[in-house]
Amino acid sequence: MSHPQPPEVLFLLATGCHHCPMVLESLTQQLKQGDIARLEAVNIVNSPEVAQQLGVRSVPWTRIGRFELDGVLSPKEVAQWIERAALETGVADYFSESLAAQRSDKVIHWLEDSPEDLQALLELQLNDATPMAARIGIGVVMEQLEGDPRLSHALPTLVTLSRSKQANIRADVAHYLGLTHHPDARPVLLEMAKDSHPDVREIAEESLELLNNTNG
């Protein structure tokens, strides 16, 4: 059985940053253990253009694989994110924690490059451990992407979630289907407009009206 490739890590620090040495030490230890393939540390005082290119405004800042992490990371958190970088569920964890921290911009940026990961975003609703702030954040992301062709990647997952036993999930799905502006959402919404729950029916009808307005 092949082992996952250890992630590469980029770490940004600054002279005078009190917390940066602790995080760098944790990362260096992981590098020595072979859990990191490559570690690049950049002092943004000497190389401010790196921070500007990445849109980083404060340090410490760490990118483990594709996961961009702000602030102080304990040794345990460093090890946890390295492990997540190798797991299929890691993307969902990254989305959940980013949304809980009100960083929907990170999730939107990720989905712009990898729209297929909309499935991981939407399926967070099925996880009882997903915090309420993250659940709210899912709606923020979907509304930011309204009408974006990449939302077509969400349709198969939304169709599945439209059959959820939980009315609140079905109601959210009815809203998200409208945001896709995709004609394939119409038959699903027509069925949801006959849902047993009045909130689901109402939102489905609103989304159908939105589809009519956007598709003619």
pLDDT in tens, 31-56: 999 999 999 999 999 999 999 999 99
Q: What integer pLDDT is reported at residue 1 of this predicted model?
A: 45
Q: How many CB atoms lie within 10 A of CB 18?
A: 8
Taken in order of first residue, the domains within the chain and their CATH numbers are 8-84 (3.40.30.10), 90-215 (1.25.10.10)
> How confident is the model over 180-189, as a mean pLDDT?
97
pTM score of the predicted model: 0.92
Q: What integer pLDDT is reported at residue 136 of this predicted model?
A: 96
Q: What integer pLDDT is reported at residue 49 of this predicted model?
A: 98
> Is it the case that residue 164 has pLDDT exceeding 70?
yes
Rounded to 5 degrees, φ, ψ at 127 are -90, 115
